[in-house]
Amino acid sequence: MTAKYEKGQKVIITPAENQHLSPRDSDIRAYAGRSGRVTDYYWMDTGRGETFYIYTVRLEADDKDIVLHEDEMQAYR
């Protein structure tokens, strides 16, 4: 599986539907609808043949970095 987004790509933050937060997770709903650019990404292998990606996104308005899962954003059109 390859990364869905590339470094430099513009994205819109879209929190996942029915997102259940654990105490270790951050609530990103405050950033919903805002745009940013992917500055980096990392992959993790679960050891069961599943790979998932997390992305560092720099918010355009705040010049602030946040970390998102692939299902928490979509490509800017």
Q: Is residue 3 part of a domain?
A: no
Q: Is residue 5 part of a domain?
A: no
The parent domain of residue 38 ranges over: 10-17+26-75
Would residue 40 count as lying in a domain?
A: yes
**How many domains is the chain built from?**
1
User: pTM of the prediction?
Assistant: 0.83
DSSP string, 1-59: ---SS-TT-EEEE-PPTTPPPPTTS---GGGTT-EEEEEEEEEEE-SSS-EEEEEEEEE
Q: Is the dihedral of CA 34, 69, 11, 19 positive or negative?
A: negative
Per-residue pLDDT of the chain (77 residues; tens, 9 = 90+): 789 999 999 999 998 776 565 555 567 888 899 999 999 999 999 889 889 999 999 998 888 999 999 999 999 98
Q: Cα–Cα distance between 73 and 77 in angstroms, integer?
A: 12
What does the alpha-carbon distance between residue 72 and residue 68 come to, in Å, rounded to a whole number? Answer: 6
| Domain membership flag for residue 41 | yes
Joined tokens for residue 48: 């069961």
